Amino acid sequence: MAKNRRFNMPLRSIVSTFSLYQGIGLFLIVSIAIIAGYTLTYQSSVTRLRQEGSVVIEQAAGIFSRPLWNFDKDSLAQYTDVFLNNSLVDSVQIHDERGRIVIEKSQGSYPTNNKFQFSLTRPIYFNKMNIGTITLTFSMFPAYSRARHTVLIMTLMSLIFFIAVLLTSIFQLRRFVISPLLNLGESMKEIAEGDYSEKLSLIQKQEFERIAREFNAMVDQIRKREKEIVTVSNRFQLLMDTIPDAFLLHTRTGEIVQVNDTFTEMYGFDKEEISTLSLSDDLSGTGYSEAMAREQLFLAWERGRSDFRWMAKRKDGTEFPVEVRLKRIELNDEKYIMAVVRDITRREKAEQAFRESEEKFRAMTDHTTAAIFIYHDKFIFANPASEQLSGYSLKEFYQTNFWDLVHPDHRELVKQRGMARIKGENIPNHYNFKIITKNGKTKWIDFAAQRIFYEGKWCSLGTGIDITDKIASQDALREEKERLRITLQSIGDAVIATDDIGHIILINPVACQ
């Protein structure tokens, strides 16, 4: 209705407002133009005056040179009068080479004021000898008068232009804008009453005829959009009915407005019963009060969204865990809460099974003597035996790259194999290598590893058993056999050793001969 009243605004008021705004705009433009014209004219006149003054003083310095050299005061006075007759020169002052005033004279045609004067000084030479100086004072009143005259002419021309443009604009506004707009407003008022069958009558002027055609096209488009909205609404309901999560739309007070088929299947209610249900009493399980429900609704209403877990209740009284997302939305200028509910019974069972499996894994790893650890590039998990094997605390362990503990002799090999295993490449999973403990001691470990998926990424599960004593025993046995071999080779008699069943296990070279 406000738009209709605006179209019915009195013609005189529209014209007056337009004239006022246009007058202010034109006044500002003219004022700026006058100020700019005055400034440019004045600056241009001053610049030209200074250029002319430079020429005049150069001429004066040459003319006064001989009379000043001869100290001919009569000639100096005559020349001074000649220059004072120049409309530009206001005063003449001549000094000798010692700075004493030889002659000083002014015409006094303008008041002495530094604001409207400027002075130029040049040395006077005679036979290339500096014999004094001449100072000419020039008046800027001619430049000021010229600029003022220009501004006066511009003001008169601008005033005539201002009046002509204003009158022409008012006439054009009345004839080509106001009258067609009033007719357009009346037609739009009829259409705004809700009858889309009404069409705007075409206006004679080409521009407003186009507006009328566009408006009629808009009415057709609105009718088409209404049909599309109905179609989209049906599609939306179909989509809501096919998603695996329960969907419900309710007010801030908890009054349910709309649900999908999944909701009725999940909770066991018919759609006819939905409007009578209470969110806290009929749909919430034990341990969940109305106060808790209001708190979550308040968070969603104030922040726009709220995510939480809830214990839901079916029509038959059975309870099941759900994950709920509340979001504040606006439909037809009214605010609602949209709730998406997901049954997480299977997920919670899987999480419980995972927790039990993890507890068993930790119980096993905490009581085994073998070091068990999981790593990606750094260690992610390590059992107490890993602390005993390496000498590092678990906190230090988790800040360490898995290859940093390896002895330099085997470090590059272990690093390459470890990274390749994480990538899924086929490499040996069981081998021995040396490590360096926190206190600098070297240990041999029997290492085995397998690629696993842990905490959202591929890692390696490794075990390490300290075989330092075993390696030392093997080395000692090897050394003992080597000493025995050398001893047998040095004996001059034949020596043959057999086992219990007569198999030869040792023979020296002499016995072979």
Distance, in Å, from the CA atom of 339 to the CA atom of 302, rounded to the nearest integer, reads 15
Residue 199 confidence (pLDDT): 58
Of 183, 212, 233, which marks where a domain is finished?
A: 233
Domain-embedded: residue 76: yes
Please write down the HEC assignment for all residues of 291-354. HHHHHHHHHHHHHCEEEEEEEEECCCCCEEEEEEEEEEEEECCEEEEEEEEEECHHHHHHHHHH
Domain-embedded: residue 165: no
What does the DSSP assignment read for 360-376?
Answer: HHHHHHHH-SSEEEEES
Could you tell me which of 182, 173, 240 has the C-alpha nearest to residue 4? 182
Phi, psi for 464 (deg, rounded to 5): -135, 130
Domain-embedded: residue 288: yes
How many domains are there within the chain? Answer: 5
Q: ∠464-468-469 over CA atoms, to 5°?
A: 130
Could you tell me which of 250, 269, 266 has the C-alpha nearest to residue 258? 250
Domain that holds residue 203: 194-233
CATH number of the domain where residue 390 is located = 3.30.450.20
Domain-embedded: residue 308: yes
Domain-embedded: residue 152: no
| One domain for residues 357 and 462 | yes
Give the amino acid at 239.
L
Could you tell me which of 97, 107, 87 has the C-alpha nearest to residue 65? 97
CA terminus-to-terminus distance, the chain: 129
The b-or-e profile of 384-412 (16+ CB within 10 A means b, else e) is ebbbebbbbeeeebeeeebbebbeeebbe
Of 290, 315, 343, which marks where a domain is finished?
A: 343
> Using a CB cutoff of 8 Å and minimum separation of 24, what contacts does 19-24 make?
19/166, 19/169, 19/170, 22/165, 22/166, 22/169, 23/162, 23/166
Residue 410 confidence (pLDDT): 93
Domain-embedded: residue 328: yes
| One domain for residues 93 and 55 | yes
| Structure tokens that stand for 410 in this block | 């085997």
Residue 9 confidence (pLDDT): 44
| One domain for residues 401 and 338 | no
Phi, psi for 291 (deg, rounded to 5): -65, -40
Count of beta carbons in the 10 Å neighbourhood of residue 361: 13
| One domain for residues 360 and 401 | yes
| One domain for residues 373 and 449 | yes
| One domain for residues 262 and 299 | yes
pLDDT tens-place string over residues 293-327: 777 778 888 887 888 888 888 888 888 888 888 88
| One domain for residues 447 and 481 | no
Of 104, 128, 145, which marks where a domain is finished?
A: 145
| Structure tokens that stand for 293 in this block | 């429900």
Domain-embedded: residue 377: yes
The answer to whether 492 and 510 are in contact (CB under 8 A) is yes
| One domain for residues 215 and 120 | no
| One domain for residues 337 and 253 | yes
Domain-embedded: residue 254: yes
Residues in the chain, pLDDT under 70: 1-23, 26, 30, 34, 37-38, 41-42, 86-87, 108-116, 142-144, 146-147, 151, 172-212, 215, 226, 228-242, 280, 289, 491-495, 505, 508, 511, 513
pLDDT tens-place string over residues 365-397: 888 888 999 998 899 999 999 888 999 998 898
Distances (CA, A) of 359 to 66, 286, 338, 363: 120, 29, 39, 6
| One domain for residues 81 and 138 | yes
pLDDT tens-place string over residues 177-190: 666 666 666 666 66
| One domain for residues 93 and 134 | yes
Identify the DSSP state of 212: H
Residue ranges of alpha helices (H) inside 71-115 are 73-84
pTM of the model: 0.39
| One domain for residues 400 and 462 | yes
